[in-house]
């Protein structure tokens, strides 16, 4: 990893440092409070920038680095929480 990537990784923490070594995109799965959410990030100039995001009850759609779509609620073996 070059010095710029090391500095970028230091800004965002260890999970991002591992992602930076693995490739140009990172998919974050957040299951906090049993409300699943997905976020896709692209590595640009040693920093991750968001490409797509969605929470339970909506559709997460990504086209890079491959096409994929899912309602994050499907990640849990239960119904998505109702909004409101």
For residue range 2-44, list pLDDT tens digits in order.
444 444 444 445 555 555 566 788 889 999 888 999 999 998 8
Confidence class of residue 79 from pLDDT cuts 50, 70 and 90?
low
* pLDDT at res. 8: 47
**41 in Cβ contact with 26 (< 8 Å):** yes
| Between residues 79 and 59, the one the model is more confident about | 59
61: CB partners within 8 A, 6+ apart = 52, 54, 68, 69
* pLDDT at res. 10: 45
* pLDDT at res. 83: 61
Structure token pair of residue 18: 């591992």
């Amino acid at each position: 990893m070059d010095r710029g990537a090391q500095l970028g990784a230091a800004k965002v923490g260890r999970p991002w440092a591992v992602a930076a070594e693995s490739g140009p995109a990172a998919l974050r799965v957040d299951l906090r409070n049993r409300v699943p959410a997905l976020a896709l990030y692209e590595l640009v100039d040693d920093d991750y920038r968001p490409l797509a995001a969605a929470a339970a009850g909506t559709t997460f759609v990504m086209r890079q680095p491959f096409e994929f779509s899912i309602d994050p609620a499907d990640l849990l073996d239960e119904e998505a929480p109702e909004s409101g």
